[in-house]
A and B are shown apart, each in its own frame.
Chain A
Amino acid sequence: MCDHCGCSTPSSPHSHSHAHERAHTHSQDRGHHHHHDRDEERRTIALHQSLMAKNDRLAEQNRGFFKGRGTLALNIVSSPGSGKTAILEATLRALQDDYKMATIVGDLATDNDAARLRATGAPSIQITTGTVCHLDAHMIQHAIEDLGRAPLDLLFIENVGNLVCPAGFDLGEDVRVVVTSVTEGEDKPQKYPSIFQNADIVLVNKIDLAEAVGYDRKRALEILRNAAPGALILELSARTGAGLDAWYNLLRARIRAKVGTEARH
């Protein structure tokens, strides 16, 4: 990983020679002028800059890249175990005759998810983040390079399972999808307002288990509509296939909209 990435293990340079240096204050230092009088004056240096500026800049580059290639990019976030990979497996299989698709998968460790997705026949790049709890625009830039120059209609970016950290990192995607599942309870959006607030699409997975876990559908939808204003909410089950057609149709419509827009330019 190159040094542009704000996420790699911090390489804090460490010097262990302080004691040694301190022991050597010889007479030749006496003539040396220490600017202490001036240095102790306290000054304020104004900066007014976003700490996300670098990520946002790289995200814009990614967005330009996707635009240039006519690729619809989706950033898919959820808590661990809500079914992101299962939904993507089904999607890659269902749409493989219609579109060129690829996935980028972020996980702390293992490439199990990428292997599952690769089994569908679509190229899949695994980003193993180590201790880092989210993907950032820079990691995506490298993953795009790894995907090569082949045509690409749809790129699914499966973020690290985490409802907190990915919220602040724009990857350059067109669509942000939050996946939640009925087994997580109804109030996840209230607990993680940041990630739901700017969701474009919310997929409520495992709807086949709703009854078994006593899922209060009415309350859940009310909470979701409040926490994710403007988001399209789809209930589905990656296991039984219920509701998946609506998801596929939504993807088709978004691809048409994107390609149509690019063509006019």
Chain B
Amino acid sequence: MHEFGIAESLLNTALETAARAEASKIEQVNLRIGLLAGVVEEALTFAFEALSEDTPAQGARLVIEPIPVTCYCETCAAFFEPPRGSYRCPTCQAPSRSVKSGRELQLISIEVS
């Protein structure tokens, strides 16, 4: 349940940002989360709802854009989307350690009123 810690950090940043902008309510929070980030959307939403109660973020919608895993193959000088559980290049079969996307845990923006 590390989603609680993440939700807490998310909420704090959103509340500080909204307060600085003199907004009274946070309507929506936009996130990008990589498929390798190990975050369960339902758990994050649940935690955020629980923590944001009685704050200007209460009722805010969490909109999560999932980011696929992309690896880079040095041999083929090409990016590829690995199938789950394997990081082999589909062209040359060489294993790639270089994950270019998929671990993101980013707060993109908040929408306030």
Give chain A's interface residues, CB within 8 Å of chain B: 6-7, 10, 12, 14-15, 35, 39-52, 54, 131-134, 136, 164-165, 167-169, 189-190, 193-195, 197-198, 223, 225-227, 229-230
With contacts A40-B113, A48-B106, A49-B13 taken as known, whether A226 is within 8 angstroms of B95 at the C-beta atoms is yes
Contact A47 B2 (CB under 8 A): no
**B residues in contact with A193, CB < 8 Å:** 36, 84-85
Contact B85 A132 (CB under 8 A): no
A104 to B23, CA, bound (A): 44
Contact mask B49-65 → A, CB, 8 Å, 1/0? Answer: 00101110000000000
Known: A42-B113, A51-B6, A54-B9. 11 other contacts (CB 8 A): A6-B5, A10-B8, A42-B111, A42-B112, A45-B23, A46-B108, A47-B108, A136-B5, A165-B38, A190-B84, A226-B85
Minimum CB–CB distance from B46 to chain A (whole Å) comes to 13
Give chain B's interface residues, CB within 8 Å of chain A: 1-2, 4-6, 8-10, 13, 17-18, 21, 23-25, 27, 36-39, 51, 53-55, 84-88, 95-97, 99, 103-113
Minimum CB–CB distance from A106 to chain B (whole Å) comes to 13
**A residues in contact with B96, CB < 8 Å:** 229
A48 to B10, CA, bound (A): 12
**A residues in contact with B27, CB < 8 Å:** 42
Residue of B nearest to A192 (CB): B38
* Contact of B53 (CB < 8 Å), options: A12, A41, A43, A52: A12
* Contact of B107 (CB < 8 Å), options: A35, A47, A197: A47
- Would you give 17 A-B contacts (Cβ < 8 Å), ordered by A? A12-B54, A39-B23, A43-B111, A45-B21, A46-B109, A47-B17, A47-B107, A51-B10, A51-B105, A54-B9, A164-B2, A165-B2, A169-B2, A193-B36, A226-B95, A227-B86, A229-B87
Residue of A nearest to B26 (CB): A45
* Contact of A194 (CB < 8 Å), options: B23, B37, B113: B37
* Contact of B38 (CB < 8 Å), options: A40, A51, A54, A194: A194
Q: Which of B8, B23, B25 has the most CB of A within 10 A?
A: B8
Residue of A nearest to B40 (CB): A164
Contact A133 B95 (CB under 8 A): no
**B residues in contact with A169, CB < 8 Å:** 2
Contact B99 A45 (CB under 8 A): no
With contacts A10-B51, A39-B113, A132-B5 taken as known, whether A197 is within 8 angstroms of B36 at the C-beta atoms is yes
Contact A133 B36 (CB under 8 A): no
* Contact of B1 (CB < 8 Å), options: A54, A131, A136, A168: A131
With contacts A39-B23, A49-B13, A226-B86 taken as known, whether A44 is within 8 angstroms of B111 at the C-beta atoms is yes
* Contact of B106 (CB < 8 Å), options: A12, A50, A197, A229: A50
Minimum CB–CB distance from A55 to chain B (whole Å) comes to 9
With contacts A10-B8, A43-B21 taken as known, whether A223 is within 8 angstroms of B85 at the C-beta atoms is yes
A160 to B96, CA, bound (A): 28
Contact B110 A168 (CB under 8 A): no
Residue of A nearest to B96 (CB): A229
